[in-house]
Structure 1
Amino acid sequence: MSQIRHILSHTPTGLGQIPKPLMLLERGVKAIIVAMIVLGLHRVFIANINWDEFYFLSLVHLYQNGDLTAPLQTIHVHLFGWLPLVSDNEIHQIFAARVFMWCLSLGSCWMIYDISRKFCSREAALFPVLFYLGFSYVADHVLSFRADPLCAFLFLASLHLLLGKDRSRIHMVISAIFMSAAIMVSIKSIFYLATIGPVLLTLSLMEPVKRGAELRGFVFIIAGVLASFVLFQWHSSTLTNATATEAGAAMMSAGSKTLLSGPFFPQAYFIVRALAENGIIWLFIFSGLWKAGHDAWRGDNRHRSLILLSFALPLLSLVIYRNAFPYFFVFLMPAVVILGGISADLLITRLRQSASRIPAAIFGGTLMLISASLVTSHFKKLPDQTIAQREVVAAIHGMYGEPVPYLDRNSMMSSFPKAGFYMSGWGMENYRARKSAIMEDLMRREQPRFLIANSCALNISMASNTSDATCQHRLLDRDFHILRANFVHHWGPIYVIGKTFDIGVPGVPQSFQIFVSGIYTLEAAAPVSIDGVVYQPGDRVRLDQAPHNIAATGGPTRAELRLGDRLYKPNTPPTAEPLYYRF
């Protein structure tokens, strides 16, 4: 054990009085990190809420309503069960969840720093934290309410215990539990095993007493398997009709779709952007990676170098992982950036030992570039990007006092029961592959009251399903026309169940079909006859799921039936801002 502590402890060379440039450097890095943390807290309340944040929240409400059946990647519902107590408004609930993620990010940053301290000096260990928070994709998504920040925290907690001074069996057990919890939060956490496995193996090889090392490794593996089993069984027992068979099938399907369904580097565009936007950070990381590889090849403190090399292995997931979108880098980078600290440590050592201005110039340029990127990005995204989302959520809560079924892409009204499937890119691909229209049956069965056009596929204001050439995932033509014929525009992107009629010859009825039963409000310029009964404009009409007919009582007129008893509609027009912003 003492040998491991020696290998994983870093003693900077040239100790003594700290040079003034080094003191200024340390203060500058700390100041930028603090600024990033403070600005991040501000971004919690103005950054556009991505569609999968609403979906992540909807799982919490599904669980609390007793409707959650999927045990995989839903264990977070227990951690966030308090969110509905914060507010009835989904926007406020997500803000509260983001503040929680902000607190987690503080813990993640501390663990990145403390792990880095095992490999480099105090000053250099600040740089991995700077690089993590300063990485463009991480800065944008580290506080998002999704699995990635939570998985990153759990992975770092597991790694931190593995590399700790006291590697007792109880620490191995706790580390394994953290890793199992990360996998329960998201299956993609298996990518972390590319680091955890080699670290565990290398630490075992470093032990002078092989039997003790093997035993600790065995304890970690057994504890991890048992923790995964216990967490899965416990979580499943709290759900409705959850089965291991269905969970296994879902896991196989997810693995096939996300790992084996596309070419190498399926998200090459976002990878290239990550390289271009964070060039100086990658330069430090790859320099540290080269140093670790060089030391391992030469045999200089090989065990330490092998551990450092393992920190980069999760990067290989970019070769095959379909969902390597910008938010994935929050998950991907926590250990990778530690390699940047190795490069920083080499420059700091040179700065300590000589009067060379080159290291100072490199550090100065790095801090200026990261600071400029931070300021530019923050001011570029400074306007509140949640205005449209706030308006829509408030309008729907004003329309309906209690949750009612609805249609949308991603469960934006997370506390309401969503009808239909989760319309992600993956979901839409599966839907299109089946080539079977579903909307008429879905409307009859689930009785949705309104629709949010928060996807181009649901933009039923278009005359045709192919009007928007940029829409990558469209509904089948029959489904599009079913929705277009059975919803009327209400406000902004909100449509409600209804029918529109252009009635011609008086007394000649038009037949129509109602899929969703309820009280409808008549909107017309003149009285009309519905099923032989004359109704005045503004009257309420009870219509059941059946065929009906409507006719004019005077001259030609336009009439509209809208489901609801004089539904609330905001007095002001909606903002021109989009509901969702692109990555």
Structure 2
Amino acid sequence: MNIVPEQNAESAKQRYLISGVLIAVVCCQIWLIFQKAINWDEFLHFGQIYELADGRLSGSLQSLHVRLFGWAAMAAENVITQIQIARIAMLVCVLFTTGCIVLLSRRLVDGETALLSGLVYLTAGFVFTNAFTYRPDPVAAAALMGALSLLVFGSFSWKRVILSGLLVGLAGALTIKSVFYAPCFAAVAYLQWRDTTDGRFHIVYRSTAVLVVAMFAFALIVGLHGSNLPAASTQGSSLGGKIDSFLRFFEFEQIRYVLAEMALAPLLTLGLILLVPVASGLPRNIKILLLGLCGPLLCILFYRNTFPYFFTFLLPPVCVAITPVLAQLVRRYGFLPVIIVSLFGPAFLLVNEPYGTLERQRATISEIERLFPEPTSYLSYSSYMPEYPRQFRSLISGVALGRYWQEREGQIARDIEDGRIAFVIATGDALDLVYQTDGPAPLLPASDVAALRSNFLRYSDTIFIAGKNVCSQGEEQELRIFRSGVYSVDGGDLVIDGRHIADQHSVSLTAGTYLAGPVQGGCVKLWALDHVPELPEDFPEGPIAGGF
């Protein structure tokens, strides 16, 4: 039943207005796909595609996306373009989700207001700049909203029940936080139960069947996906470990992003504030439906990773829930003022986007490929070089850093001493504290900090290459080489175990301890490369960490 009847006075002009704004918003997002920097989370998830290809991916939980989007790694030669192509697929999923929002909203309001609910979603603050972000969330949201649409419209047939269950199982295989949508499905089942006139028992067992099919599909998909993957090596990679890591009641670790989202999506925030008084006069079954659609918001109380990309997944059912408020606002103020308010967030984000970061990312990746033509192990906050083997995924977040302290403390230093790290890309809090300051770096153990500072030379503001700074202290000093290979002298002549190596020349060294010192005093750099590296004149300096 529609709680707001169709209004004959709603003209085609209003429908064209909303459709035109929707198209303009999508065009801006398509433009951002090729202008917005790749954020660390995109590099992380895209890097898993290369890990799968190289046999380095372990654990089947929340990594199904590597099977669905592995084709993107073959769609272009450079990784930035590959991710941008994958972003297009993400945006297609979000547009499907938007269509489901409009369709579900038609259960509550007229066609024009339903279109407006889709616009509210696409312009809802961080959703605008993260709708195309490469990660499993947009696909999972599309699957869940598609399942809800199947259950709300049409007959509650076995075909719809099974297909909905399969979609829910797929979403769960993509991300375990799909369980946050449980209140939405419970409310839809209740709505069907109240609306049926053919007996209610079949609604109960068919609703149960959705859950059974979803669980079966989840187990089957995860099992098939992980059948040829090595088991996760750490406790934190298990299902229980993931739940324990990301669920903390009333910690509100990323509450700043929740508050920012509220400010950047004023129409959505207003809709939630006014929903209680507006819904007070609606039928009970509609009230329960709206309550269930808002149910995913409860996760803010205990879910730690409420980063900006999360709202693309969280808000679709909420945008359906506020449609009664949108109908009231439109009746009172008209469509144009409401549309203008919805565009505040996108306008702010477009103006404040740091557009130069993407070019610095391209330059950094290209320069590393020039210095290290063959895949070489490295250390960084995220998979900035997806085709190269990266050490320590533990550097990604506070949760993973805590796990590193518990399970592998000092492993970075041990790997450096074993010669397993050729270069460092210094981004993220942990590595920034090591290289961008000379003071304490408490996010990593002291042994790691010492090893990182003493065994890598600054090449650019973000690239640090294995090597040593050999300084004169009146006599030759012990020089410990951890990585066997060719080393190049830079900044003066050097004597190593009595052997004279001229400036700009190279020498082959095996791992071990030597006596070394500069011939003319001062300090001389010893790069772990077969040549002295020289940064291109046009190399762009500055941060390479893409924002949200």
| Shorter-chain TM-score range | over 0.9
The normalised TM-score by structure 2 is 0.92
- Which residue is 2:301 aligned to? 319
* Matched-pair contact (CA < 8 Å) for 1:32–1:371: no
Structure 2 CA distance, aligned partners of 1:239 and 1:388? 34
SS state of the match for residue 386, structure 1? Answer: helix
CA-based RMSD of the aligned residues comes to 2.5
* Matched-pair contact (CA < 8 Å) for 1:419–1:446: no
Distance 1:127 1:493, change over 3 A: same
* Matched-pair contact (CA < 8 Å) for 2:41–2:382: yes
- Which residue is 2:470 aligned to? 501
Distance 1:555 1:328, change over 3 A: closer
Structure 1 CA distance, aligned partners of 2:67 and 2:208? 30
* Matched-pair contact (CA < 8 Å) for 2:472–2:522: yes
Structure 2 CA distance, aligned partners of 1:242 and 1:157? 31
SS state of the match for residue 424, structure 2? Answer: strand
Larger mean Cα displacement after TM superposition, 170-179 or 532-541: 532-541
Structure 2 CA distance, aligned partners of 1:180 and 1:117? 26
* Matched-pair contact (CA < 8 Å) for 1:162–1:172: yes
Structure 2 CA distance, aligned partners of 1:43 and 1:121? 32
Structure 1 CA distance, aligned partners of 2:52 and 2:532? 29
- Letter paired with 2:471: D
Q: Are residue 153 (structure 1) and residue 153 (structure 2) matched? A: no
- Letter paired with 1:219: A
- Letter paired with 1:303: N
- Letter paired with 1:142: A
The Cα of 1:56 is off from its aligned counterpart by: 0.5
- Which residue is 1:559 aligned to? 524
* Matched-pair contact (CA < 8 Å) for 1:289–1:308: no
- Which residue is 1:439 aligned to? 412
Question: What are the superposed Cα offsets for residues 295-342 of structure 1, whole Å, 9 maximum, x if unpaired?
Answer: 2xxxx3x33332222100101111111111222111110010112322
- Which residue is 1:216 aligned to? 206
Structure 2 CA distance, aligned partners of 1:93 and 1:83? 6
* Matched-pair contact (CA < 8 Å) for 1:154–1:179: yes
Alignment equivalent of 1:76, drawn from 65, 74, 79: 65
SS state of the match for residue 507, structure 2? Answer: strand
Question: What are the superposed Cα offsets for residues 462-509 of structure 1, whole Å, 9 maximum, x if unpaired?
Answer: 563427xxxxx622222111111100112231011000111244xx43
Structure 2 CA distance, aligned partners of 1:30 and 1:329? 23
SS state of the match for residue 337, structure 1? Answer: helix
Q: Are residue 28 (structure 1) and residue 17 (structure 2) matched? A: yes
Q: How does 1:217-366 map to 2 (within 5 A)?
A: 217-241=207-231, 250-260=238-248, 263-295=250-282, 300=283, 302-346=284-328, 351=331, 358-360=332-334, 363-366=335-338
- Which residue is 2:164 aligned to? 175
Alignment equivalent of 1:13, drawn from 5, 10, 17: 5
Distance 1:173 1:132, change over 3 A: same
SS state of the match for residue 526, structure 2? Answer: strand
Q: Are residue 547 (structure 1) and residue 537 (structure 2) matched? A: no
Structure 1 CA distance, aligned partners of 2:315 and 2:380? 33
Structure 1 CA distance, aligned partners of 2:262 and 2:61? 32
Larger mean Cα displacement after TM superposition, 267-276 or 184-193: 267-276
- Which residue is 1:451 aligned to? 424
Structure 2 CA distance, aligned partners of 1:247 and 1:124? 48
The Cα of 1:226 is off from its aligned counterpart by: 0.8
Alignment equivalent of 1:575, drawn from 536, 540, 544: 540
What count of residue pairs does the alignment treat as equivalent? 545
The normalised TM-score by structure 1 is 0.87
The Cα of 1:278 is off from its aligned counterpart by: 2.4
* Matched-pair contact (CA < 8 Å) for 1:529–1:535: yes
Distance 1:556 1:15, change over 3 A: closer
- Letter paired with 1:536: A
Distance 1:241 1:490, change over 3 A: same
Alignment equivalent of 1:386, drawn from 334, 337, 358: 358
Q: Are residue 119 (structure 1) and residue 108 (structure 2) matched? A: yes
Alignment equivalent of 1:517, drawn from 484, 493, 502: 484
- Letter paired with 1:425: G
Distance 1:435 1:145, change over 3 A: closer
Q: Are residue 482 (structure 1) and residue 455 (structure 2) matched? A: no
Structure 2 CA distance, aligned partners of 1:337 and 1:199? 15
- Which residue is 1:47 aligned to? 36
Structure 2 CA distance, aligned partners of 1:435 and 1:419? 12
Structure 1 CA distance, aligned partners of 2:3 and 2:285? 17
Distance 1:139 1:443, change over 3 A: same
Structure 1 CA distance, aligned partners of 2:426 and 2:404? 18
Q: How does 1:400-411 map to 2 (within 5 A)?
A: 400-411=372-383
Larger mean Cα displacement after TM superposition, 516-525 or 61-70: 516-525
Distance 1:458 1:371, change over 3 A: closer
Distance 1:338 1:36, change over 3 A: same
The Cα of 1:264 is off from its aligned counterpart by: 4.5
Which runs of 5 or more structure 2 residues have no equivalent in the other structure?
Answer: none
- Letter paired with 2:386: S
Question: What are the superposed Cα offsets for residues 52-93 of structure 1, whole Å, 9 maximum, x if unpaired?
Answer: 110001111101111111111101000111122123422112
* Matched-pair contact (CA < 8 Å) for 2:117–2:326: no
Question: What are the superposed Cα offsets for residues 406-433 of structure 1, whole Å, 9 maximum, x if unpaired?
Answer: 0111121111100123312212233345
Structure 1 CA distance, aligned partners of 2:241 and 2:6? 56
* Matched-pair contact (CA < 8 Å) for 1:410–1:422: no
* Matched-pair contact (CA < 8 Å) for 2:6–2:110: no
* Matched-pair contact (CA < 8 Å) for 2:504–2:532: no
Question: What are the superposed Cα offsets for residues 561-582 of structure 1, whole Å, 9 maximum, x if unpaired?
Answer: 1111126544225434421255
- Which residue is 2:438 aligned to? 464
Question: What are the superposed Cα offsets for residues 250-300 of structure 1, whole Å, 9 maximum, x if unpaired?
Answer: 22122122212x6353333222222233223322344345444542xxxx3
The Cα of 1:435 is off from its aligned counterpart by: 8.9
Structure 1 CA distance, aligned partners of 2:60 and 2:115? 39
* Matched-pair contact (CA < 8 Å) for 2:18–2:115: yes
Distance 1:364 1:493, change over 3 A: same
Distance 1:412 1:382, change over 3 A: closer
- Letter paired with 2:130: H
* Matched-pair contact (CA < 8 Å) for 1:205–1:213: no
Q: Are residue 426 (structure 1) and residue 414 (structure 2) matched? A: no
* Matched-pair contact (CA < 8 Å) for 1:491–1:569: no
Structure 2 CA distance, aligned partners of 1:105 and 1:14? 27
SS state of the match for residue 229, structure 1? Answer: helix
Whose radius of gyration is greater, 1 or 2? 1
Larger mean Cα displacement after TM superposition, 59-68 or 112-121: 112-121
- Letter paired with 2:499: V
* Matched-pair contact (CA < 8 Å) for 2:470–2:517: no
Structure 2 CA distance, aligned partners of 1:476 and 1:382? 33
Distance 1:97 1:247, change over 3 A: farther
- Which residue is 1:414 aligned to? 386
- Which residue is 1:377 aligned to? 349
The Cα of 1:391 is off from its aligned counterpart by: 1.3
